[in-house]
Amino acid sequence: MSQGTQNKGGDETKNRILLAAQRLFAERGFEAVSLRMITTEALANVAAVNYHFGSKEELIDEVVVQHMMPVMRERMRLLDEAEQKFQIGVVPVEVILDAFMRPFLTVMQESGESRELFCKFMGRCMSERGDKLPPKAIRVAQRVVKRITGMLSDALPDVELEVLSWRLHFCFGVMSHTLMHEDTLKTVSKGVSGDPDFETTLQRMIDYCKGGLKAGSSALTPNSGGQSEFLF
């Protein structure tokens, strides 16, 4: 067998393990899934996992990085665009939120993965791995959060930074819950919630989070004496 054939076979096995791990993590959670479950799903063996990844934890890290890094890069790109567009004045809150949330839609479409699988997996990443991200992902995530917090602080100068940090944290919760449990809403509402596409759901999340971020802020309404400084 040639070296090229061996490499191809190894890459195929590695990809099967990654796809199986993602599916199982999305459905059952990171802690509930064993290596044996992953290898059974991937038609591989534990030795292959150890060879390609080293351990279950390192496998988790690779699957998380594979999905989170494109989202982080797209967030930074959209934030760059927003700052270029609004060079005079501040970037509106809804534009910042769009840059924060839209990358999930963009990356999902580019990945070719099913909406259900992608959303559940990303929801798991946010809710179960937020404090256990690989160092590479942590560094990028910290830069993104710092930048978003700074832009929101500029847009909402009368909201204390501590309060703003908590409100942004709540926005993470809205995204995580929505990504993971959209099907639950359809069930408990007996269909009243409808079957909106992702773009509609995205706009509803932005509207909801915008209200929470701006609560008690003078940016909510124009000053009665003239034009408001913040026309969001």
- pLDDT, tens only, 27-73: 999 999 999 999 999 999 999 999 999 999 999 999 999 888 999 99
Between CA 174 and CA 171 the distance in angstroms is 5
Mean pLDDT, to the nearest integer, of 7-34?
A: 87
Q: Are 56 and 26 in contact (CB under 8 A)?
A: no
Res. 114 pLDDT band, cuts 50 70 90: confident
pLDDT bracket for residue 3 (50, 70, 90)? very low
Q: Topology of domain 65-216, per CATH?
A: Tetracycline Repressor; domain 2 (1.10.357)
**How much is the pLDDT for 126?**
82
Instruction: Indicate the pLDDT class of residue 218, thresholds 50, 70 and 90.
Output: low
Tokens of residue 124, six digits: 């798991």
> Which residue would you say has higher pLDDT here, 206 or 176?
206
- Give the model's pLDDT for residue 117: 86
Q: Which of 138, 134, 155 is nearest to 60 (CA)?
A: 134
Listed residue (127, 128, 170) closest to 152, CA to CA: 170
Nearest CA among 11, 122, 12, 27 for reference residue 69: 122
pTM for the model = 0.80
pLDDT: which is higher, 106 or 221: 106
**Stretch 203-230: mean pLDDT, rounded?**
68
Q: pLDDT at position 6, please?
A: 47
Span 112-139, mean pLDDT?
84
56 or 134, greater pLDDT: 56
Fold topology of 9-54: Arc Repressor Mutant, subunit A (1.10.10)
Chain region(s) in the chain for CATH 1.10.10.60: 9-54
Residues of the chain with CATH 1.10.357.10: 65-216
Collapse the DSSP code of 9 into the 3-class scheme (helix H, G, I; strand E, B; otherwise coil) and give the result. helix
Q: Report whether pLDDT(77) > 60.
A: yes
Rounded Cα distance, 21 and 18, in Å: 5
State whether the Cα torsion 79-82-83-84 is positive or negative. Answer: positive
Q: What percent of the chain has pLDDT over 90?
A: 57
Please, what is the Cα angle at 125 between 119 and 130, to 5 degrees?
Answer: 145
pLDDT of residue 7 exceeding 70: no
The backbone torsions φ and ψ at residue 215, rounded to the nearest 5 degrees and listed phi first, read -55, 125
